[in-house]
A and B are shown apart, each in its own frame.
Chain A
């Protein structure tokens, strides 16, 4: 033995193995363990799915009651045929896990505030935010309530067992790619995880209040209520509510909330302090959606057609997963959430349903007074009350655990305290009151909708829906259409909860919830259609305060109703065009104001050229529209010119007034008080001055874009569908798709129609759908992103809604999986 060479080579081998077996930091992220990751028998190569992979097979699962057949079609959509409902949900869990396991688990890590556990201390801020907001607490409340319902408990348990059966069957080399990249392993699924995921959806759709109430409070304090009320007005002139004006005589309210007597002094008027808090992630303000249903009187077939496209953040793997579930009790097809049993948006043999966000404010902040920083006692209604402390332990990868104590009051969890601060001038204790924290029965609504046969079943199904408030559109084969705004909504006095409220007594507390029967609903209206696009639900004859107009975008709804009102003999093809409509009704209203206020003699040749492009534009936000780019550049510059000086001394984050507010004022006033630039003392600027400045500013940018040949709207907007880890290599970038936030096709940079569905209620259901993703969550599968090009091009897939006999012989069915007890 040559001892020295032996030692050297052995140490070198060990050293190399050690390095290749370690995650090395590069920048803010870490490399995978390279040796493991590259190993063809264990690492990422194992996730390279052969393009001719067969998905057929026989699976033995413990606890199945009967045989379950799953037919996979050419798009990898499973059609599940089971003899009992529980078997169907068991297999749905298994299939979700088989194709989307990493995403399912990752989403619940986010919701539970556990990201630091897998991603390290950089994500601690996000975890703290979600823990303090009460996400885990809320999911626990929901779970406790649902477990009292035996049917629902059994459903979620069966689903959980299915997920776990798949996880158990996984060999180490078969775990999804992302586990290998981030170097961790799947853990067991639990019912709590399903509720955490649903809690996350509540956050995504109603959580904007977590930031907005703070920012609105800042703005109100900074501007004073009077100016604030002009910039964030509560009435929008271009209102086209979901329930058509005067279509319904609303019943007398059963609760009349009374505003506190002292409301003018501390609440609405300027107070001395401001609070500033930036939540690390805020739901996108454009989280909205479109849905509509037309009655047979307007269609070519004489049967209703229902359409829905929920607008959410665009991610890979997609939030949605298509599935058909067929059991003796129901036969349902639609988009499901990996992480939850049942179909969320879809149709069955009798009815179809779709949802949009109601946008109602269901999250409020109350300022609580504690005796001292131990937060054990707080002052409420003239006496000290005991607060309990909830311990949340956050595990941090490579670091010691972080213990977070959250004071729990009768109002809700204390989100901000002296320890978890906002940059306020003095410590403030803010408790969150949020309907999502109250025990809900959300899943039960979908469970019942999956089985609903008619309008009455639909009504019963959604009656208990509490959070997030949704507009449920409905159509049935028997010819009914309907829409209802359903949720657990606070009966508010005007402006209640728009700002942080005092929490020392019950004066500012919620005085009651609006009874479900008084929520706005309309069935078979004479105009022949129902629709919603996140606008206000009603006109002012509705007896309850709906919330700040800021929460309700106007223009998509206007456009949809405008189109539907003139459409007759409608076919599903017409509906496809409407869902992909790129006409910008906001621009149509705004351009005349811009053109009216332009003094062409003050423009350079280049600036004139852009004004000409604007003048000739047809208001369509197509991929190649240069007019759309010019309009948006000028409008955005105008907002900046008008508002910037009014907010320039603001030290805390504030919201920007809506485009509709500026437009309404420009339409109405020749002398708009906010047009004046506060920085010029010698001159009072007019709208004309502001428009001129906006054009000059915009032209500089436009010239730059044009020089780089990037003036086309599709290039400027630059839509992408990002992987949940934001890795560009696993994302689809630079997609050629038009649209915009004010178009029916509400596609912006990273946000837009996440599932487009059209259901024609003919005897044999005719349905179309598409989402920007693919059925497989594996980036190494050709089914990972194979719908994206069709989605971008506005194309649809005809949805295969098959009886079991037809499934066995349909040519589009490619694979057959069987599940038996064993």
Chain B
């Protein structure tokens, strides 16, 4: 239950702070840190929930944008980056990058507390 709460909170708060688009893109580092600080889990689980929160948020947002766009832009960007023009690969990379940063921030949150 704690895990799911943490994932949900991580995603929700990251989305909310992300609505302020003049803040830096990595502002969710703060919210993911705070979630891990508040919803205390072991380091491994904290990382996983921090990771999952952003992975899900970013990839789902990307999927929505991509579906509505008929993959037009994702295919082009996936050629530039280069990911062989695969929009799925681009969505995955998007999720992984968000997830990784958030997961690391969550470890900090978890380890900031006493055991």
Contact = CB atoms under 8 A, between A and B. Distances in A.
A781 B77 contact: no
**SS class, residues of chain B in contact with chain A:** helix
A173 interface: yes
Given A6-B112, A21-B26, A40 B94 contact: yes
B97 to A, nearest CB: 6
Interface in A757-785: 779-782, 784
Contacts of B57: 40
Interface string B70-81: 101110110110
A2 B18 CA distance: 30
A750 interface: no
14 contacts: A39-B58, A41-B15, A42-B25, A45-B61, A45-B62, A45-B66, A48-B65, A48-B66, A50-B69, A729-B76, A730-B76, A730-B80, A780-B76, A782-B70
Given A48-B69, A729-B77, A16 B21 contact: no
A6 B76 contact: no
A355 to B, nearest CB: 34
B80 A1 contact: no
A147 interface: no
A13 B97 contact: no
A41 B97 contact: no
A382 interface: no
A20 B62 contact: no
A435 B107 CA distance: 67
B79 A40 contact: no
Nearest to A47: B73
A40 B65 contact: yes
B13 interface: no
Nearest to A41: B18
A239 B60 CA distance: 65
B89 interface: no
Interface string A336-360: 0000000000000000000000000
Contacts of B19: 41
B21 A172 contact: yes
Contacts of A779: 72-73, 76
B16 to A, nearest CB: 10
A10 interface: yes
A51 interface: yes
Interface in A42-60: 42-52
Residue among A6, A9, A46, A729 with most chain B CB within 10 A: A9
A34 interface: yes
A1 B69 contact: no
A172 B23 CA distance: 10
Contacts of B77: 44, 729
Given A17-B29, A729-B79, A48 B72 contact: yes
Interface string A7-48: 001101100110011000000000000111011111111111
A700 to B, nearest CB: 34
Interface string B98-115: 101100110110011111
